[in-house]
Amino acid sequence: MTRLTGVLLAIVGGLAVLSLLVGPAGFGPGQALGALVTGRGEAVTLVMREIRLPRTILAILVGASLGMSGAALQGYLRNPLAEPGLIGISSSAALAAVVALQTGLASAFALALPLSALTGAFFAVGLVFALAGPRGGSLIVILAGIAISALATALLSLTLNLSPNPFAVSETVFWLMGSLADRSFAHVGLALPFMAAGWLCLALTKRGLDALTLGEDAAGALGLPLARLRVLVIGGTALCVGAATAVAGAIGFVGLVVPHILRPFVQSRPGALLLASALGGAAIVLAADIAVRLVLPDRDLKLGVVMAFVGAPLFLHLIWKTRAALA
Amino acid sequence: MSVLSLSDLSVSRGRREVVRKVSFNAEAGEFIGLLGPNGAGKTSLFRAVLGLLPHRGQSSLSSMAARDRALHAAWAPQAREIAWPIAVETLVMLGRLPHLAAGAHPSVRDHEAVADALARMELEALAKRPATGLSGGEQARALLARVLAQDTPLILADEPIAGLDPAHQISTMVAFRDLAAEGRTLIVSLHDLGLAARYCTRMIVLSDGELAADGTPDQVLTSDILARVFGIRAYVAETEHGLVVQPEAVLSPVERP
Amino acid sequence: MTTKQRPDAGKSHGRSTSAFAPKCTALWLAALLSLGVTLAEAETPTRVVSMNLCTDQLAMMLAAPGQLISVSSIAHDPFTSPMHIEAQAYPTNYGSAEEIFLLAPDLVLAGSYSNPTTIAMLRRLRLRVEQIDLVEDLSQVATRLREVGEILDRTAEAEAAVDVFEARLEELRAPVPGGPLTAFYYPNGYTLGTETLSHEILSAAGIPHLAERLGRAFSGRLALEELVMADPAMIITSDPYPAASRSEEILRHPAMRRLTEPHGAFVAGNEWICGTPHVLAALEELAHERAARQ
C-alpha cells in the first residue's frame, strides 16, 4: 500500500465517521457510535443503523464508482475533460432509470432498476467512444457529450411529465442533480453488486491505460489487447455510473475533479490514478453529502449543486488550459 | 532461423493495395534501412508486419500471440505520443510491460534495463523530468529508450531520427549499429540516404508498395534506383570512411527511367 | 390545504369538454350579448362553474338542480375527491381562463389559492369570481357552508346542512383525550403543523398530535431521523399514487416500516383534504382507529 493510498483511506475513514455523526436528530457522538455498535437505545439505533449508516456507505460506494469511472475514461480517451456527468453518461443512466420506474419495469423485479440504468449508461459511453474515435479529441468528446446530455435530459423531463404520479413530475432535479437523502440498505444492496463488478472491470484496465499513454499503436505492439481494454472501460464505466445513478441520481463533476486533483500525486500514471480516484471520489462525495446536511439541513440540497460549485470552475480552468488543443 | 520472415505480404486500405506481395527475411545482427519516398507503404508495411493492420500473406510476427510478439519485437511508431506528464523513467519503464507478470512490480532486472536504455539514449540527466516537458528531440529519444527497454531481438522503428539535431541523429544511428553488433535485428525507416548508407548493413527499398531493391547499400544505391524510385540524382562515392551519398538534384519526369 | 393534488387527474375525462364544443359557440355569443345584464347586479346565479376541489364539494351539496354547470377535473379523481361519484354527473374543467369563459358562467367559484393569473383574466373578462377561503378549524366548515349558500342564493339549504353537520360533529367529538401519539408523514417527509385542518380533526378525535409536542405550528419537512427519535405510536400518511416517485419512497423506508409496526400506518383518505362536512367521515374513521388501538 502506497503512502497516498494510506492517506486517502484515512481521509475516507474520518469523513465516514463524521457523516455518521451529522444529522438533524440531536444526540451526542458517543451515544451515536455506541448505539451503532452495541444497539443500545431503540430509537437511536434505528436512526444510526437504518438511516445514517446506509447513507454513509452509499456515499462511499457512489463516490468511488464515479471517481474511478472518471479516471478510466480520461485514461482511455487521453483527455482530462472526459467525465461521466459531462459527457452524458450519467443523464442517460438517469433517463433509463426513470423509464424503468415509470413503466413499472422496476417493480417487476428488484434488479430491473440498476440493470436498466446501466444499459442507458452503456449506450451513452458506446456512443461517445464511437463518435470520439480511438484518440478522444477534446472538442469531439465534449460536443458529443453536450448532444447526448441534452437529449437524455429532455427525454427524462418528458418521461416525468407524462407520469401519472404528481410527485414524479417535480423530480427532474433529483435525477439530474443527485441526492443521498433517506436512502436505505435496500439501495445499497441494489447498487453494490453492479458497482463491485464495475470496479473489477476498471481495475483490470490498469496496465492498458498505462500503455495507452504511448498511443494505440505502441500499446498494441506492447502486447496489450486493445479490443478487450475498450470493452472493459465501456462495461466498467456503465456498471459503475449506471448503478450509482440508479440509486442516487446523476452527480456530476466527481469524475472530473478527483482525477485532476490526484494526478500529480501518482506522477500522472493513469493506471495508478484508478485506485487513488476511487478513494478520492469516496472522500469528496462524503464531504459533499456532509456539506448538504450542514448548510441547509431541512432543504434536501442536491449533491450535484455542491459538486458543481467545486467542479464547474475547475472545468473552466481545464478548458482554458487546453484551449490550444480545442481550437 | 530468421528473426523475421515475410512472404507475399499485401495490405489493402479501402480499394487501394498499399503494400504488394513483399517478401524478405531478416537475420540476427542486421541493421536494415527501409527506404522509399513518401507514400511508398513503409508505415503500412510495419503495421502489417506487427499484426496491427489486416493483411494477406505471411508475417512470422503477426501470427504470434500478442505477449510473445511483444517479447520478440519492439515498435516505435512515427507519431510520437505522450499523453500524460509522466516521468521519463516511468515512460521508459512502459517498455518492460511485456516482461511483467500481471500485478507484479518491476524487478531489479527491469530497473537495469531502463537504466541501460536511458544511458544509450543519453537521457540519464532527464530521467526524473516529466516527459511532456521535454523538447521534441528529447521526447523522440525518450520514446526510443522505451523501445530499447523492451529488450527484444527485433526492433522496428518508423522514422526515428526525423526531427533530431545532427549530433543526436548520428548518435542514434550509432546506438542502433551497436545494438545490431550485439546480435539484435533492426528495421528502421529513414529518409536520410547519407546516414542510411553509412550505418545500415542492408537496405530494402519500397516503391509504390512493392519491393524495389534489397541488398547492401552499395548494391541498392545505384543511380538507376535513385532515379527510378526517388526521382533524384545523387553523388555516391566509396571513401575510406565508408559509402557517401549526397543527393544533388530532382529529376524532371522525362529524365526518369 | 391539500397534500394531494393531481394536476392531470381528469385526463381521461377530456371527452366531456370536447362534446360541449359546438354548443359552446352558441352560448358564447349569447354570453357576449347578455354580458351587460349579468354584470348589472348579482342576482341568483344560474350558470355556476367551480374550479377548485373544495368549492366543487360545497357547490355540489348546495346548488339547485341545473345551477352548477361544471366542476374541476380533480373532482372526478377518487384519490382526492370524496364526491367523485356525484361529480360524474357534471362536466369538468381544467381551470384555464379560456375554457371557463367559453362556458359562459354567471358565477365562478374559486379557492383563495387558485391560480391568480387565471382569476385576474376571468375578472378582466368581466365574469363574477368568488374566492372561498381555506378552512383551518372545524367551526369554519359552517361558515363556508353559509357563505357559499349565500352566493348561490341557497341559504335555507345551507342552514339545513349546517344543522346536520354540527349535530353529527357533537356526536363524534371525543369526550376524553387519549389514543396513540400521532404524526402526519407524507411524501418528501412533509409533516403537518398544528395550524391545519388535519390537526383539528385529530384533536376532535381526542388524539395527541406530535406537532403539538414539537411546537410546530406550520407544516413542512421533518427529517426521517427526527420522526424516528420522536417515536410516534401512529403515523397518518397517504396512499401511493400509480407509477413510482422518489418522493414517496421515504414512506417505504425500512426505518418507517419499523416505526409503524405492528399496526401499519393509517392512510388518510380524500375526506381529509377539504373543510366540508365530509371531514366527519375522517373523524369517524379516526375514532374507530383509536378504539382499535386501545
Chain B interface mutation, best of A135, A212, A217, A262, highest count of B Cβ atoms under 10 Å: A217
Task: Decide if pLDDT at C7 tops 60.
Answer: no
Please give the pLDDT value at position B253: 80
Cβ atoms within 10 Å, residue A130: 9
What would the pLDDT profile of A162-201 be if each residue is shown by its tens digit? 988 888 888 888 999 999 998 999 999 999 999 999 999 9
Give mean pLDDT, residues B89-106: 91
Do residues B173 and B225 make contact, with C-beta atoms less than 8 angstroms apart? Answer: no
Could you give the percent of chain B with pLDDT greater than 90?
Answer: 75
Chain A interface mutation, best of B67, B94, B150, highest count of A Cβ atoms under 10 Å: B94
Q: How far apart are CA B199 and CA A156, in angstroms?
A: 66
Cα torsion angle, A291, A296, A298, A301, sign: negative
How many residues are given for chain A? 327
What would the pLDDT profile of C224-276 be if each residue is shown by its tens digit? 999 999 999 999 998 888 888 888 989 989 999 899 888 889 999 999 999 99
Q: How far apart are CA A153 and CA A75, in angstroms?
A: 26
**Would the CB atoms of A210 and B94 count as touching at under 8 Å?**
yes
Could you give the percent of chain A with pLDDT greater than 90?
Answer: 65
How many residues are given for chain B? 257
**How close does chain A come to B75, measured CA to CA in Å?**
6
Contacts of B95 in chain A (CB under 8 A): 222
pLDDT band at B199 (very low <50, low <70, confident <90, very high): very high
**Would the CB atoms of A267 and B86 count as touching at under 8 Å?**
yes
Cell of B54: 489486416
Q: How far apart are CA B186 and CA B27, in angstroms?
A: 9
Give mean pLDDT, residues B41-51: 93
Could you give the percent of chain A with pLDDT greater than 70?
Answer: 97
Which residue among A24, A44, A168 sits closest to C243, beta carbon to beta carbon? A168
Helix, strand or coil, per DSSP, at residue A7 = helix
What would the pLDDT profile of A221-248 be if each residue is shown by its tens digit? 999 888 899 999 999 999 999 999 999 9
ipTM for the complex?
0.90
Give mean pLDDT, residues C62-75: 95
Cell of B145: 529508450
Please give the pLDDT value at position A324: 63
Please give the pLDDT value at position A120: 95
What would the pLDDT profile of A8-62 be if each residue is shown by its tens digit? 999 999 999 999 999 888 788 988 998 899 888 788 999 999 999 999 999 999 9
Which residue among A210, A222, A267 sits closest to B87, beta carbon to beta carbon? A267
Please give the pLDDT value at position A136: 60
Higher pLDDT, C21 or A192: A192
Cell of C216: 410546530
Cα torsion angle, B240, B243, B248, B251, sign: positive
Please give the pLDDT value at position C36: 43
**Would the CB atoms of C228 and A43 count as touching at under 8 Å?**
yes
Give mean pLDDT, residues C191-201: 94
B247 touches chain A (CB under 8 A): no
Task: Decide if pLDDT at C38 tops 50.
Answer: no
Cβ atoms within 10 Å, residue B178: 12
Give mean pLDDT, residues B152-165: 94
pLDDT band at C2 (very low <50, low <70, confident <90, very high): very low
What would the pLDDT profile of C80-126 be if each residue is shown by its tens digit? 999 999 999 999 999 999 999 999 999 999 999 999 999 999 999 99
**Element spanning C287, H or E:** helix C279-292
What is the model's pTM?
A: 0.86
Contacts of B75 in chain A (CB under 8 A): 217-218, 221
Which residue among A213, A223, A263 sits closest to B66, beta carbon to beta carbon? A223
pLDDT band at C42 (very low <50, low <70, confident <90, very high): low
The one-letter amino acid at B158: D
C6 touches chain A (CB under 8 A): yes
Q: How far apart are CA A272 and CA A175, in angstroms?
A: 31
Of B164-168, C53-57, C133-137, which one has max mean pLDDT?
Answer: C53-57
**Element spanning A216, H or E:** helix A216-221
Which residue among C228, C244, C258 sits closest to A165, beta carbon to beta carbon? C244
Task: Decide if pLDDT at A135 tops 70.
Answer: no
pLDDT band at C149 (very low <50, low <70, confident <90, very high): very high
Determine which of A134-148, B168-182, C114-128 has the lowest per-residue pLDDT on average. Answer: A134-148
Q: How far apart are CA A46 and CA C271, in angstroms?
A: 33
Name the residue of chain A whose CA is nearest to B150's CA. Answer: A222
Cell of C197: 385542518
> Which of A274, A273, A250 is closest to A263 using CA atoms?
A273
Do residues C228 and A51 make contact, with C-beta atoms less than 8 angstroms apart? Answer: yes
**How close does chain B come to A321, measured CA to CA in Å?**
14
**Would the CB atoms of A52 and C225 count as touching at under 8 Å?**
yes
**Would the CB atoms of A221 and B83 count as touching at under 8 Å?**
no
Task: Decide if pLDDT at A272 tops 80.
Answer: yes
Higher pLDDT, C245 or B202: B202
Do residues B18 and B55 make contact, with C-beta atoms less than 8 angstroms apart? Answer: no
The residues in A 40-79 lying below 8 A from B, measured between CB atoms, are 78
C292 touches chain A (CB under 8 A): no
Give mean pLDDT, residues A133-162: 86
Return the partners of chain C (3 or more C-beta pairs < 8 Å): A
Task: Decide if pLDDT at C39 tops 60.
Answer: no
> Which of C171, C168, C128 is closest to C151 using CA atoms?
C128
Do residues C260 and C227 make contact, with C-beta atoms less than 8 angstroms apart? Answer: no
Task: Decide if pLDDT at A133 tops 90.
Answer: no
Task: Decide if pLDDT at A68 tops 70.
Answer: yes
Please give the pLDDT value at position A297: 79
Which residue among A42, A165, A186 sits closest to C245, beta carbon to beta carbon? A165
Give mean pLDDT, residues A124-144: 80
Name the residue of chain A whose CA is nearest to C11's CA. Answer: A164
The residues in A 142-201 lying below 8 A from B, measured between CB atoms, are none
Please give the pLDDT value at position B77: 95
Task: Decide if pLDDT at C67 tops 50.
Answer: yes
